Amino acid sequence: MWEAIEQNRRRSWVLIGAMGLTLLMLGYLIGAALFADFGADRPSIGRTTGFPQAQGDGIRYFTWLDEPSRLLNGGGLIGMGIALCVFIISVSVAFLAGARLLLRIAGARETDKVGAPQLWNVVEEMTIASGLPRMPRVFIVDDNAPNAFAVGMKPDVAAVAVTQGLLRKLNRDELQGVIAHEVAHINNYDVRFMTLASVLLGSIVMISEVFLRSLWFGVGSRSSSSRSGGQAKLLLLVVAIVFAIVAPIMARLLFFACSRRREYLADACAAQYTRYPPGLASALRKIGGISSEKSDVNKSLAPMYIVNPLQARALTTVFATHPPLEKRIAILNGMAGAGLMDYESAYKNVMGQQNQCLGAATLKNETRMKMRSPTPELEPKAGAVDRAREALDVLNRAAHFLILPCACGVRIKVPPRFKRDSIRCPRCGKANDVPKADAANDPAAPGEPKEDVFRRRGDGWESFKCACDRTIQLSPAFEADRVSCSHCGRHIRIEG
């Protein structure tokens, strides 16, 4: 498997290198067109052919290549330097805060084992199966469309984000397949390469847009005093305009080619991690049937999802960020087992025997892996109701809502910044006290932090407010006698 990852990585570096050269060439041509007069007064050296032109006391000879070379020498380097600076700044931001920015763009909220026990357990399982050095952080997105993505520049500093709709629509086997796919992207360093490719693509698009828009304001339209200089500048301007239009298209094609190959490899790894390929196939079918209808996702984040929500379900053009969904599903359903050899065989059956995904070097020491049985689940209707309720609870807990059960059966959601001591039920009108931790009656020993006390009312899910107003959740499995507030660090003793 390592050979396939290395081969994919080498291809990605070649593609990223091509995008980098495109960026530098774009900056060079734009700089030559906008700053063409830079250094234009320097004398020509060694030109002895061409047409004569009187200059001062003697005769100076010009060639058609003389003025263009003088125009390119200074302006092109300036443009290349500006493009390089833009790229360095963008890469620095991507490495230092890229994951946080993407999660913020998605509106993701971090959750933990208490807030999302099943999701946390699945991520933990796939972390062990994949051999990741550290479990990714887990986030949930308030979005009814099922989808998921991963971020992080290194496998030991990464995160997985899933939507509320994913938890609501998928059963455990399907959820496991999606998480395994995203963990594979982290383990294969796909997220890092896609982030770098996105930065390069964004830099190329930004520089092209700035240059093309600047033409409306006449930047770079000043003509040279010489006839040959004016013609050279006009030629450079035309070439720069054409390249500014073509470069983003070329960069997008390279970016999409880079991302499409990685999806097949991540699917193969997910089948191996879960040992149940039909789980991921079923998840992709559900996600594709719903997410393809959603169109308000940020364009910079859309290619990171397991199914691009901005890409039509059956799109097969070179501008697609993901492989055709039907082919991915057909390959997974065509696997006779759960190993890489089984995926390669199914890939060739679907894509053609002349095509290969993993290669002979990767499969050299691989053996067939038996597929496990599906996980038993509840009756479909009851399971769907339970998943919908649990998904909503996970989102509410991640958003620090306090869930207050009323005697009439209504579960009241109390927002995090609610300041009153009680809240009325919207159904029966009863005033319900907002659970809070009380100050302990017994004084703390010298040198020990003062503790508050919360008395449990039952053995199910309970939530209460700390003195700092942060909501603390207690799961049915909570058995400790103390809990610490993640916001202020206060220790709270649990009784009852």
Residues designated as active site: 182
d(CA 379, CA 194): 40
Residues 6+ apart with CB under 8 A from 85: none
Per residue in 415-424, is it b (16+ CB within 10 Å) or e — as a string? eeeeeeeebe
DSSP 359-378: -HHHHTT----PPPPPPP--
Backbone φ/ψ region at 142: left (φ over 0), alpha (ψ -120 to 50), beta: beta
Amino acid 116 reads A
d(CA 30, CA 373): 60
Q: What is the distance between the terminal CA atoms of the chain, rounded to a whole angstrom?
A: 52
Kind of pairing between the strands at 137-141 and 157-163: parallel
Give strand pairing partners of 52: 61
d(CA 383, CA 361): 43
CA angle 190, 191, 195 (to 5 degrees): 115
197, 247, 209: which is closest to 94 by C-alpha? 197
Give strand pairing partners of 464: 472
How many CB atoms are located within 10 Å of the residue 171 CB?
19
Could you tell me the two tokens for 343?
């995926």
d(CA 176, CA 170): 9
d(CA 34, CA 249): 22
Which residue has tokens 């700053």? Answer: 35
Return the H-helix or E-strand segment holding 272: helix 227-274
DSSP 290-359: HHTT---S-TTTGGGBSS-TTS-TT--STT-SS--HHHHHHHHHT-SSSSHHHHHHHHHHHH-TT--SS-
Give strand pairing partners of 455: 495
Contact 182, 160 (CB under 8 A): yes
